[in-house]
Amino acid sequence: MVKGILFDLDGTLIDTNELIISSYRYTLKSQLRLEVSREEIIGYFGEPLMITLGRYCSVEQLPQLVKCYREYNLARHDTLTKSFPGVREALQLLKSRGLLIAVVTSKMRDTAQKGLALLNLLEHIDVLVGFEDTAKHKPDPAPVEKALEYLALNPSQVLMVGDSPYDVRSAHGAGVRCGVVEYSIFERGQLEKEKPDFWLTTLLDLPKYIGGIDETIVY
């Protein structure tokens, strides 16, 4: 029986796609004079900031690039962070049925909390696994395993929901079934290669994959 749900954050619970893309492009152009396409940046969605920026610069340059990214991102966070339809209602339903909810993200904890609080989602989250919580990150299973540890659940008792290939690989590596949202910024064919266990048009579709939960939602 499913007792908990693990969610990725960016691109799954909150829409920060444009915020992330613009933050990377601004940083790389202003600091390194590099013009990087949207498509190239999207290909790195899901991995930690320092790993993505580290692809373009030396170890010595990295701290300044991270600083630039975070300053730009923070200044535009509240303006460019948006909600996805049905997310808050789905979380309310899951909590009302007694399920535990964890967020598993490669973001720093304070930034993740900021996005969740902005969209009034933080109150529904029992556990937040951020960048600081593990030495390894998605697509490694370590963040998912850490969430299981915090929730005191085993892999058969949870489902994970994400929007990227990294989410599916991380979940499957930990023995957890993983679904993908169809509003993902990734091309469907790219996601299908990872063999997700189910697809969600919105998070309001989740109850059909969880035994014993009423699918009727009262607004």
Tell me the CA distances in angstroms from 41 to 27, 49, 165, one per residue in order.
12, 11, 14
Whether domain 17-80 has CATH 1.10.150.240: yes
Domain boundaries, the chain: 4-15+82-209, 17-80
CATH of domain 4-15+82-209: 3.40.50.1000
pLDDT tens-digit readout, 18-47: 999 999 999 999 999 999 999 999 999 999
Q: Which of the following is catalytic: 8, 10, 15, 205?
A: 8
For residue 97, give both structure tokens. Answer: 């049925």
Fold matches, 4-15+82-209 and 17-80? no
pTM over the 0.85 mark: yes
Quick check: is 126 catalytic? no
pLDDT tens-digit readout, 96-151: 999 999 999 999 999 999 999 999 999 999 999 999 999 999 999 999 999 999 99
